[in-house]
Structure formats: C-alpha cells, structure tokens
Structure 1
Amino acid sequence: MKSNGNYTELADVAPLEEELTALRRHLHQHPELSNFEQHTAALVADKLRQWGYQVATGIGGYGVVGTLQIGDGGKRLALRADMDALPIEESGDHDYRSRQAGVMHACGHDGHTAMLLGAARYLAQSRSFSGTLHLVFQPAEEIGSNSGAQRMIADGLFERFPCDAIFGMHNHPGYPAGTMMFRSGPFMAACDTITITLHGKGGHAARPHLAVDPLVAASSLVMALQTVVARNIDPTEAAVVTIGSLHAGHAANVIPQSATMELSVRSFNPQVREQLKQRISQLAQQHAAGYGARAEVDILPGYPVLINHEQETEFARQVATELLGEQQVVAPFPAIAGSEDFAYYLQQRPGCFMRLGNGDSAMLHNAAYDFNDANLTVGAAYWARLTERFLTA
C-alpha cells in the first residue's frame, strides 16, 4: 500500500497521460502481425528493464514477461496484454495512422499494451504492494489457432512465473470510455472454423445434365445450415453459425468441379460445441449426396469458451467500483459471441477477463477503428489498484 494508506486513484496516474498517449500512438504507427511482433516485444522489454523489472523474452515466440517483486508478501499476480495487429488497411486520416501497408491495430492491442506499460511504470515508482507481480505481454492473439497464449503456456509460463490469479482486459466499442464490464462464468464464445468442400463433376454450362453442379448444392447448403441452430440446438443455449466465404468457378460458361465454403461456428457450452460440429458435418455430407455430390469437411478447432472464475470476477468488479464508482461499472454484462485466447489461461489458473468501454468508435476489426486514448490512464490506474489490492502486505 501507499504510505498514506490509500490505493491508486485516477489522479495518481494522470501525470502519465501525455507519455502513454505518445507510446500508444507510436505502437499504432508501427503495427506487427501475429508471430511478427519483434519490434513491439523489444520496445516492451526495454521499457520494463528501464523501470527495474526482471525481464524474460522469447516465451512462446515474441512473448515478454516482466517481474517485479517487492516486500515479503507471498502472493503472486499475473496481468496480461496482447501485442499483435491485424492484416487490415487503415482508413483513418489521423497523423499517427499505420505506416505499415495493409497492417493496423484494428483491435486496440496497442492500447492494451500501453495501459499495462503505464501500470508497470507507475508501480515501479510507487512500489505500493508486497508480493510478486508478473506482467505478461503476449503475441499472436489474433491468429485463431496455435495462439500466443497456447504457446506461452506450453513454454512453461506458469511454471516459470507462478501466479495465484491472472487478469486481462479488452476494449469494447459502443460503451462509454471509462466504463468497465464484468461477467462470471461463460463470457466469450468458443470459435471453430469449418471448411466444407463440395466435389461435383465439372462440365459445360450448356449441358448441366451431364455434370454435377457443386454450386447448386453449395447454395442450397448455405440455407440448410441456417437450421442447425434454429432446429438442433436447445433454445436456451446460444450459438452462431456464419458462412463467411463461398467460392466456386472462374467462368460463366463452365460448371466448376468443386465449391468451397468457410464457416465460423461459435458457442458457449462444450456440449453444444460438439453438437454443432457433428450436425454440420452430417448435414453437409447428406445434403451433398442429395445432389449427387460429395462433401469433404475439415474442422479447425479454435479458442475454447472463456469462463471467468466467480471469486476473481467479483474481486475485479469491486476494484473497478472503488476506482470509478458504481455508475461506471456494468455487471453482469451480457455474454459476447467473440472469442479470445485468454480462455487458455483461465483453464490453468483462476482469473477474470473484463471489458473497458471504448466510446462511440468504429467496431473492432474495422478499418476505421481507433483505440480511445482517454482510456490509457483509466486502464493503467485500474491495473495498479488491482495489483495493490491483490498484493496487499
């Protein structure tokens, strides 16, 4: 705790606002895709070393962990921020827009990194806790499979940097900046990618009777797949089946040999997740057979359901209420159909993943998106206060 017996307030971190804004915008100008976060990781590691942290690099790729041990407290805490950007051409015209063609921070990971670095800087100066703090800067959250979280865990994250709990945060467009949202239990969806290839028999467009048209079968299958959630999943359960891609053929006068579609499948219950995969595979094969075609189904498992632990979620909510006031805290917040590889950490250790309102910004993964810099000191102060509360002497 601080010498005056108080925990961090927003005003304590306010002097860092200009520095954190410059840092966030530098990261925004220099985005790096999943598994290519070399310069971002180097910047993070350099900052942490300057502030007195023990730093480990190269964990699960470009992962960085900064450790600060103060006092004789026995508790251990981990806080995580993600660092990677997306393959999107930025449409904004602000002076700090991305300098990397076709790459931008369209999900706010530049802000997540800057907020946690702000807390790191503040806590290194205030030294207002007793225990061990691990700051986890993770690569490759956006990649969808074999993610940074999986690889950092496989690389011994929790063995090398033991913790009693882990917490993470993501910005959330559409809610006022400075508002924090919490939900215990299933919070973010599992996400699987399913590729269905329908194999027919190519031929001349003028002689369809001599061919097996995979496009007709695919078009019908798109509509049939809409019945999976409506007619096979318990109405009290949430699930989404989206066909995001359908490709076939190259010429108007040619019936193609095959058609390929890609599905994004989301769920909040492990049993429903398996039911969706089984039903989609069965429907695709039987539907294709009805047209004389053959279906090949490839399932790429994605992130699991993110399940927040009740005790840690309530603790995180209390910290937010103390810092921001009841009016700035939403709990329980509705479950989110997006997915997040922080789920893997929560399978290993107790913890909570929360949301922070980004104001009236463009949606995530949109070319016009930008992180709200008003959140930088809010996030940094929150992480600092949570650390002090968790690692109280």
Structure 2
Amino acid sequence: MSRPHPAVPPRVDPALRAALEAELDAAVALRHALHRDPRLSGDEADSRDLVLAALADALPPGTTPQPVADTGALLRLGPAPGEGPPAVAVRAELDALPVVERTGLPFSATGGVAHVCGHDVHVAALVAVVRALARVGAARLPAPVLAVFQPREEKAPSGAADVVAEPAFTAHGVGAVLGVHVQPELPRGTVSVRGGPVNASADEIEIEVHGRGGHGGYPHRTRDPVLALAQIVCGVHHVVSRRVDPMTAGVVTVGQVQAGSAPNVVPESASARGTVRALDASRDELLDAVREHVEGTAAAYGCTATLTVVPNEPAVVNDEALARTVATALGGRGAEDRVDGDGVDGEGTPTGLVLDTTFRSCGADDFSHYGDVLPSLMLFVGAAATGTTPGAGPGLHHPEFSPDDAMVGEVARALLASVAAAGAALAPPVTGSNPQPVPDTTPP
C-alpha cells in the first residue's frame, strides 16, 4: 500500500464492538444452518441465499446485494464508489468439500458434503461483522466495506479469479482486501499476521509413462512402465531436496497412482497425479525440475513419459505495509483496548487473541488472486483444540475437523479490528498531520 500509515491505528469504535458482540449468538445459529446443509463448489446458491436472508433485516434501506461469480454475492456498506475513501473488501468462502463428515456434532451434515475447512465459520463471522457495521450506521464506519461472499474456493475454476475480473467488483474502488482462515496448526487464542508469502502456489501434475507391455514371466521382453513410474514417484521428492534452496519452501506430493489390469501382466502404461507447491521457491523452476526428472527417469527404463501441468493457484503473498498496520492494531496498545464484560481479552488486545507474526504454510488458497491486483492480507486464527498440540488433532479437510462455535466470535473480532486498521490506512491523511511509519513487526 502506498499511503502513509498511522503509527498507532485507531482503536475499534466501542459502539462497533458492542454491536458485534450482540450479533454473535445469531451468527452461531447461522453457522449451524450452513454446516448442516452444505453445498459444493459451483452449487452455492442456497448457501448464498441463506446468508443474504440473515443480513436482510439489518441492512440500510436501498442496500442491494449484487451477484458475482455466478453463485456469489457482493454487499457494500458506506458511501458509493467515488464518494469516499477506497473500500475495504472482506472475503468469506461459501463452498464445502466432497467429504463424509464424522464430527458427531448435533448439526453435522449427513450426506457426502461437509464444511470441514471452516468456511462456515468464516461466513458466519463476516455476517456478524456486516450486521454490526450496518447497525451502527454509516457515520461510524471505519471505511466503506465490501463484503465478498465468494463461491468456488475449493475447486477450479477459481471463484476469486472470477470475482476480481468482474466489473461488479472492480467498480467498487477497493483499496485493500482482507481474508481469514481458521488454522489448526496454530494454538487456540492466537491470530497470525505477517507480510510476504503465507500460502504456497499449488499446481496439479499428471504423469503418464508409456512402455512395452507383456508377460510377467518374461520381463526382458517388456519395457516396464510400472517400474519406471515407481522410480519416478520415489525420486520426485528429491527434486525439492536437491534442486531447491534449502532456505526456501517447496513440496511435491503424489497422491494417486494407477496401473495394470492383472497381477501377471506388464501393462502398456502407468499414470500418477499429484501437486507441486512453492512458497518461497520459484514455481516455474520447480515445475521444470519435476519435468526433467519424470522424462529422464522414464528414459532410463526404456520408456517415455509426459508431464501435464494443470495450473491452479499462485502463492498468497500478503502486502507488507497492510500486514504491519493490521498487526499493530491486533497487537493491542494497553488497557484501553480491553474488551470488558464478555469473557474475552485478558491480555490488553482488541480481540482477546495473542498476536503471532511467524506462521505460514504450504497450504493453498485462491485468495491469492486478490493479491495479484490489490493489496491483500490473509489472517489465520488458531483452531487447535484447547489443551492439544497444534497440528496433532484432525486438520483442515479431515472428516472430523470442526472448530467450536466460540471461534465465530474470535474470527469476527479479528476481522472487525482488521477492517478498522485497513480503513484508517486508506483514509486521506489529515491536513497538516505528519504520520509516522509503522514499526515492522514482520520477521525477516
């Protein structure tokens, strides 16, 4: 972000805080409804309509949701584009995953689709924030706010890529985009904010090895594609250890292998599918190295191989200046930032959450597409079960993963404080003021 940042971002308006706390019970009920009846990527219209119905009675007269990316919706609060400072957009994902849930929750999904990535929590938290902002009125808004209820985060074609390309989004004069994700790799009660890469790029790869089939008792007459593929799968992981700087992060995973029709027949071909992820490593160089390994190993076994890359998401790269501003706001400034009377915050922070500035992972998210065109920031809120080691329990996409209901409030408070900080950073500087740069809280 090019604007100067206040050294101490303003605290969240107490009226906004109170309004948000008043919305959390209804937000938890909405979370249950979304969780109980989830929708896959591209089929989110019912979830979108449920969200808009939950917002309808709180919106100012004349506020009309806009469709976006087929099954998504945009909702703006505050002055019209061009009549105020740039807007702060906040993204939440509508879709679920093709997983049979095993959480045992009373509001558990019963089919083959489940919210096991926390999207229901994100959406419910954003609804609480939007309702709170709408209740206090335009005069108290920290900035114009554009809520983005986005489809198709989990499956291509990317909903985020479609959103940023649509005039319905670009017309809003957005100056910054915020996103949030629950994260079981982080301790409960933490919120992580840092600049730079925080999620990896993710591309799918398809490997096809062709040889000469034949009888299993006469292997010398064949050119065995199964053996060649086995060596490719074992060796491709060494591409990272020997072709990528050990001070950077990249990972190759082969998750699917297919070959043959009988135990005594050498088949004509064998195939595998996987992913290649790059956080700091060069995405293109890593893919090139994988291709060299696939083709060279196949040739060593008298076979040929092709590598097909299915491009997916680029890395999520948080804007450095926006990260510093939001981290300063979320880190708190003393007793005046305590949240009293609601059982949260014993640390003098505006959210009750402890600030972390180190976390990042080789997970992927299509939120990256917002960062390609605008300053963007992905927050992570700790979701490890209380008393457990982060990462030891069911993780994202696991059939038993489900954050508890209190996380709706934790995510909502983090979003509200972040909106206030981003809005202050985007506001025109006061005449005669001399804002100081924010100290850099991001590790080198």
Is 364-373 or 172-181 further displaced after alignment? 172-181
CA RMSD after TM alignment: 2.3
Deviation digits for residues 269-295 of structure 1, max 9, x if unmatched? 4x6211111111111111111111110
Deviation digits for residues 75-116 of structure 1, max 9, x if unmatched? 3111111111001111122210003x2110010000000000
C-alpha contact 1:122 1:384 (8 A) present in aligned 2: no
- How far off is 1:207 after superposition? 2.2
AA aligned opposite 1:62: T
- Aligned pairs for 1:39-118 (under 5 A) are 39-52=46-59, 54-69=63-78, 73-99=84-110, 101-118=111-128
- Aligned pairs for 1:291-310 (under 5 A) are 291-310=301-320
Which whole-Å CA distance do the structure 1 matches of 2:358 and 2:404 have between them? 21
Residue 186 of structure 2 is matched in structure 1 by: 175
Pick from 359, 375, 381 the counterpart of residue 356 of structure 1.
381
Which whole-Å CA distance do the structure 2 matches of 1:151 and 1:41 have between them? 16
- How far off is 1:387 after superposition? 3.2
Which whole-Å CA distance do the structure 2 matches of 1:388 and 1:182 have between them? 15
C-alpha contact 2:331 2:355 (8 A) present in aligned 1: no
Which whole-Å CA distance do the structure 1 matches of 2:305 and 2:201 have between them? 24
Deviation digits for residues 163-188 of structure 1, max 9, x if unmatched? 11111100011434332011101111
SS in 2 for 1:74: coil
Pick from 392, 409, 412 the counterpart of residue 380 of structure 1.
412
Residue 330 of structure 1 is matched in structure 2 by: 355
Residue 191 of structure 1 is matched in structure 2 by: 202
Measured at CA, do residues 222 and 131 of structure 1 come closer, stay the same or move farther in structure 2, by a change above 3 Å?
A: closer
Which whole-Å CA distance do the structure 2 matches of 1:65 and 1:321 have between them? 30
Which whole-Å CA distance do the structure 2 matches of 1:268 and 1:6 have between them? 37
- How far off is 1:334 after superposition? 2.9
Deviation digits for residues 314-344 of structure 1, max 9, x if unmatched? 1221232236546833332232110111111
SS in 2 for 1:369: coil
Measured at CA, do residues 208 and 137 of structure 1 come closer, stay the same or move farther in structure 2, by a change above 3 Å?
A: same
Which whole-Å CA distance do the structure 2 matches of 1:334 and 1:178 have between them? 14
- How far off is 1:51 after superposition? 2.1
Which whole-Å CA distance do the structure 1 matches of 2:270 and 2:181 have between them? 37
Q: TM-score, normalised by structure 1?
A: 0.92
How many residues were matched structurally? 387
Which stretches in structure 1 are left out of the alignment for 5+ residues? none
- How far off is 1:12 after superposition? 4.8
Residue 440 of structure 2 is matched in structure 1 by: none
- How far off is 1:57 after superposition? 3.9
Which whole-Å CA distance do the structure 2 matches of 1:391 and 1:182 have between them? 17
C-alpha contact 2:88 2:174 (8 A) present in aligned 1: yes
Pick from 288, 296, 310 the counterpart of residue 278 of structure 1.
288
C-alpha contact 1:7 1:389 (8 A) present in aligned 2: no
Pick from 42, 45, 52 the counterpart of residue 38 of structure 1.
45
SS in 2 for 1:362: coil
Which whole-Å CA distance do the structure 2 matches of 1:176 and 1:20 have between them? 23
AA aligned opposite 1:329: V
Is 219-228 or 9-18 further displaced after alignment? 9-18
- How far off is 1:9 after superposition? 7.2
Does structure 1 residue 369 correspond to structure 2 residue 369? no
- Aligned pairs for 1:11-26 (under 5 A) are 12-26=19-33
AA aligned opposite 1:65: L
The sequence identity of aligned pairs, in percent, is: 30
C-alpha contact 1:8 1:381 (8 A) present in aligned 2: no
SS in 1 for 2:116: coil
Which whole-Å CA distance do the structure 2 matches of 1:8 and 1:315 have between them? 22
C-alpha contact 2:254 2:273 (8 A) present in aligned 1: yes
Deviation digits for residues 203-249 of structure 1, max 9, x if unmatched? 22222222221111111111221221111112222111111111111
Pick from 236, 239, 247 the counterpart of residue 225 of structure 1.
236
SS in 1 for 2:153: coil
C-alpha contact 1:44 1:64 (8 A) present in aligned 2: no
C-alpha contact 2:326 2:422 (8 A) present in aligned 1: no
AA aligned opposite 2:151: P
Residue 132 of structure 1 is matched in structure 2 by: 144
Measured at CA, do residues 328 and 164 of structure 1 come closer, stay the same or move farther in structure 2, by a change above 3 Å?
A: same
Measured at CA, do residues 5 and 245 of structure 1 come closer, stay the same or move farther in structure 2, by a change above 3 Å?
A: closer
Which whole-Å CA distance do the structure 1 matches of 2:240 and 2:149 have between them? 37
Residue 272 of structure 2 is matched in structure 1 by: 261
C-alpha contact 1:48 1:66 (8 A) present in aligned 2: no
AA aligned opposite 2:363: G
Which whole-Å CA distance do the structure 2 matches of 1:378 and 1:226 have between them? 38
C-alpha contact 2:176 2:422 (8 A) present in aligned 1: no
